């Protein structure tokens, strides 16, 4: 079943054509990787999915719901969560609070005036958050301030914040950028374990090691258009992909 459908998306920044008639179809339960050289428009495309950018033309439909023009919080409430390239977390708050907030957002919706109850009285929410922190291996740091974490831990925290909401679609923007090989492998294992929950994922990644260990389908983006699409094995041998990565006609 198709969970996200992208049709004819165009986006211009002044004279630069960042996205040029992009068509994508994401199947439910799959891990769909989007790869491409720097400046290919991968992050721009992702920004169009979560309401950060509005494409000039084209449509983005998530489970039959039009996402164009929807506010970021509405898109999230519909079931799309996103992990950013640089971790976006609540730096001043503790890890436990960081994970409790998305849990509450999932339960209570975009706004609830819950000003009389106590946070420490929300047992169910806290248990769920703690469970999630255990899953990503951060449970023993639950009372630390999020800003004091290492970059790898921040990213795992952000992932926990997204996963605790049980999203239908998870967008990952370079989840292992700047990580050591060991951390990268840990993250791959974590993402594989998430895969068992049946969450559909879109991964943007430079690291081919990560891409080929996770993806069930790959789209290659270059100069704002999808130049190749298919199973990992087909993509590996595709001459157009090698050309886009190693230079050639466009340089």
- Contact footprint for another protein (CB under 8 A): 50, 71-73, 76-77, 81-82, 84, 88-93, 97, 100-102, 104-106, 108-122, 161, 165
Which of 14, 111 has the CB closer to another protein?
A: 111
- Tell me, rounded to whole angstroms, the distance of Cα 52 from its chain centroid: 13
Closest CB 112 distance from another protein, rounded Å: 8
Which of 199, 218 has the CB closer to another protein?
A: 199
Which of 21, 166 has the CB closer to another protein?
A: 166
Return the structure tokens found at 80: 């799309």
Contact 154, 89 (CB under 8 A): yes
Closest CB 123 distance from another protein, rounded Å: 13
Closest CB 163 distance from another protein, rounded Å: 12
- d(Cα 48, Cα 51) in Å, to the nearest integer? 6
Which of 35, 171 has the CB closer to another protein?
A: 171
Q: In 3D, which of 43, 232, 228, 210 has the Cα closest to residue 245?
A: 228
Closest CB 192 distance from another protein, rounded Å: 24
Which of 18, 83 has the CB closer to another protein?
A: 83
Contacts of 71 (CB under 8 A, 6+ apart): 51
Bridge partners (DSSP) of residue 60 are: 6
Question: Which is it for strands 16-27 and 2-13: parallel, antiparallel or unpaired?
Answer: antiparallel
Closest CB 91 distance from another protein, rounded Å: 6
| Complete DSSP assignment for 13-81 | ETTEEEEEEEEEEEETT-EEEEE-STTSSHHHHHHHHTTSS--SEEEEEETTEE-TT--HHHHHHHTEE
Closest CB 231 distance from another protein, rounded Å: 31
Which of 129, 241 has the CB closer to another protein?
A: 129
């Amino acid at each position: 079943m198709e969970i996200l459908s992208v049709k004819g998306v165009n986006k211009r920044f002044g004279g630069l054509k960042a996205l040029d008639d992009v068509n994508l179809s994401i199947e439910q339960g799959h891990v769909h990787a989007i790869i491409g050289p720097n400046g290919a428009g991968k992050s721009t495309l992702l920004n169009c999915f979560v309401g950060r950018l509005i494409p000039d033309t084209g449509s983005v439909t998530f489970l039959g719901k039009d996402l164009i023009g929807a506010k970021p919080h509405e898109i999230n409430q519909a079931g799309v969560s996103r992990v950013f390239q640089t971790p976006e977390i609540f730096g001043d708050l503790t890890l436990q609070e960081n994970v409790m907030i998305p849990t509450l957002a999932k339960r209570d919706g975009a706004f609830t005036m819950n000003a009389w109850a106590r946070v420490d009285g929300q047992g169910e929410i806290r248990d769920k958050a703690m469970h999630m922190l255990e899953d990503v291996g951060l449970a023993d740091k639950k009372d630390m301030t999020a800003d004091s974490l290492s970059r790898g831990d921040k990213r795992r925290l952000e992932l926990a914040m997204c996963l605790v909401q049980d999203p239908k679609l998870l967008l990952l923007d370079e989840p292992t950028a700047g990580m050591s090989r060991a951390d990268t492998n840990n993250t791959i294992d974590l993402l594989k374990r998430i895969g068992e929950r049946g969450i559909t994922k879109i991964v943007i990644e430079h690291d081919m090691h990560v891409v080929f260990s996770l993806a069930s389908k790959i789209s290659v983006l270059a100069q704002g258009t999808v130049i190749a699409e298919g199973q990992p094995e087909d993509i590996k041998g595709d001459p157009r992909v090698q050309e886009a990565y190693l230079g050639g006609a466009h340089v």
